[in-house]
Amino acid sequence: MDENEKKLDFAFEPEEELGSVGDAPGANAAAGQNEEATLANKRDAEPDGLDEVTDPDDYVTVGEDDFDYDKAVTEQITAQIGAFFEERDEQEEKKASDKPATKPKETKKAPAAKGNKEDIQQKRANRKSAEIQKKKRTRRLILFAVVVLIAFIVLVTSLINLVRVLVRGKTENIGPLPSEEVIVHKIPIYYDYSSDVPESSPVSDSYFSDALFVGDTRVQCLDLYGVGNFQTLLYGTSIDVTTALSYSCKSSDGMDGSLNDKVTLNDYGKIYINLGMNELGWSNPDTFATNYRLLVEELKIKQPNAVLYICGIMPVSYNRDGRVSYITNDRIQKYNTLLRTVATDTEVYFIDCYSGIADEEGYLPSEQTSDGINLLQEGCETWYNYLKSHTVNPEDYSN
């Protein structure tokens, strides 16, 4: 049986219609040949396929012994399943045959994707580098701006100081000359500079009208309470003998500045120096004496006609004595001994202000001080009166 016969749908007539078993063999053979011829012609005329047979005469009549129904159905189903899988295999083979054609495209895209990744990384690196450079430029600009600002502040400060010096010079040098006779101080011939200034008749307040008084916060107390008739009170909180000339001081005349500015721009008849409290903690007192001596010599050069007074360091109160290890009245007396030596060497006058204000036990009276060191108004007046009664007239020692 060929493939086409396997695909046919089979139908069978009842067995009794096939003829009796006793029919002549010849008749059956002739009938079978006619039927086979008819089927062959039909198969040639029909196209391949499994078209349904509607004409009863088209059914093939076979004997029970010649045809197996189950086998025919099984073969038909197997053929259909095989055709399905063959068709599917052909499609898969076709798809598989198409894949190599698309693979080169995929392989071509892969390098492009890699290139894009490298480009992105390069762009990120460039952006990061640009940000770093921007930060560096910003820091340089900030540093440059700070330097320019500092230079500008220094320049403005210098200009202000210059203007202040020029203005002070003009205002203090303009005006009528004093009506009183200007006294030119003579160097006394017979005065003993190693001794303290002796007590004398008190001078009037006008004696201090041409006096410059420079020192620490004890001088500030005179300005605070308005005690004395000094031309200028010049003071600083941390001033000492090494910085006295350049220290930026407060001034009672409103023209704040350094001692060097004052003695350069103005002429003074007397200069009082009150330094030493801020230097008590120095490890080497001789350094204090050396620097004090240099300061006096400089003032004598800048103000040759002025009478110079060195004020001895005043004591501290009983409660303050020794509270700080180096602030003691014993150490103050030691420094005053050094100041007497400076006065002797430089030929200026030493005023023993320690004795002028100390009580019977050698302490600064507690009722005359605010903190054991600085003076209240009563202490300022005691000090000022002592200065008025301890002055030197050079003429008294020149004849």
Ranges in the chain annotated CATH 3.40.50.1110: 205-397
Question: What would the pLDDT profile of 281-332 be if each residue is shown by its tens digit?
Answer: 999 999 999 999 999 999 999 999 999 999 999 999 999 999 999 999 999 9
Question: What would the pLDDT profile of 135-175 be if each residue is shown by its tens digit?
Answer: 888 988 898 899 998 988 988 887 876 765 555 443 333 33
- Supply the CATH classification number for the domain 205-397: 3.40.50.1110
Check the CA dihedral 132-134-135-139 and report its sign: positive
Question: What would the pLDDT profile of 77-130 be if each residue is shown by its tens digit?
Answer: 888 887 888 888 788 877 777 655 555 555 555 555 556 778 888 888 888 888
Burial class for 253, CB neighbours closer than 10 Å (0-12, 13-18, 19+): middle
The pLDDT assigned to 267 comes to 95
pTM (2 decimals)? 0.55
Is the distance from CB of 387 to CB of 205 less than 8 angstroms? no
Token pair 């005006």 in the structure block, residue:
175
DSSP 329: H
Interatomic CA distance for residues 25 and 22, integer angstroms:
8
Check the CA dihedral 181-184-188-192 and report its sign: positive
Question: What would the pLDDT profile of 51-78 be if each residue is shown by its tens digit?
Answer: 444 455 555 554 555 556 777 778 788 8
172: CB partners within 8 A, 6+ apart? 265, 266
